[in-house]
Amino acid sequence: MRIGELAEATGTTARALRHYEQAGLIRADRAANGYRVYDERAVARVRNIRCLLAVGLTLDDVRVFLPCLDGDMTAAPPSDKGLRVALDRLAVLDRRIAAQTEVRDRLAVALRESAGDRAEGDRVRSVA
């Protein structure tokens, strides 16, 4: 199948497929006219890649799962290495969320203080 057909079958874009190919996650043969040609197994592989990306893994993380990307990943028991990658990614996400929450909280405090200063200034002006 050609790249457009694979993109349609997997709900992705040709651009994403070229990106996955460049990252070494999928492979295409070339037709005589230079077009990329994928076999039917690429559909499962791309769907699995998209599933892993959707849960927060990166393309680098997905490489760990290369041996099982062509099968039904939801039915297979997780490997120790796959679990380790997922737990490491979860820790990274937790740290990012904590850092963003801290920044958000500081901004909320600054806004409350600013609103308090503004309200105090409005009271002084209305009395004068």
Task: Kindly list the domain boundaries of the chain, sorted by start residue.
Answer: 1-76, 77-128
Average pLDDT over residues 104-109: 96
- What is the model's pLDDT at position 78? 82
Coil, strand or helix: which one is 99? helix
Average pLDDT over residues 37-48: 95
pTM: 0.77
Coil, strand or helix: which one is 30? strand
Q: What is the CATH number of domain 1-76?
A: 1.10.1660.10
Q: Give the model confidence (pLDDT) of 55-81 as tens digits.
A: 999 999 999 999 889 988 878 888 899
Average pLDDT over residues 80-99: 95
H helices present in 3-79, as ranges: 3-10, 14-22, 41-54, 59-62
Look at residue 125 and tell me whether its pLDDT is greater than 70. no
